[in-house]
Amino acid sequence: MFYEEVTPVDLDDLMPAKKPSGVMIGENLSTLSVAELEKRITDLESEIERVRLELDKKRKHEAAARSLFKS
């Protein structure tokens, strides 16, 4: 009895490629509807706010560290 050599298959190769979630900077906008463009703006504004909050936390943390080492 002969056995064929089997090549292992990666399950990721069998699955369809996932569309990246979220907004892609520089993406072609001409194919998007008005509603999609409005949602994109809302999503970007929310992300900007999230980044600003994180930046504020990091700046406060840096300031606290600087004041600790100045003493």
pLDDT confidence tier of residue 60, bands split at 50, 70 and 90? very high
Q: Per residue in 23-55, pLDDT tens?
A: 888 999 999 999 999 999 999 999 999 999 999
In order, the DSSP letters of 6-53 are -----HHHHSPPPPPPSPPTT---TTS-HHHHHHHHHHHHHHHHHHHH
pTM of the entire structure?
A: 0.62
**Judging by beta carbons within 10 Å of its beta carbon (0-12, 13-18, 19+), is residue 40 exposed, middle or buried?**
middle
Closest among 46, 49, 23, 47 to 36, alpha carbons compared: 23
Q: What is the pLDDT of residue 15?
A: 77
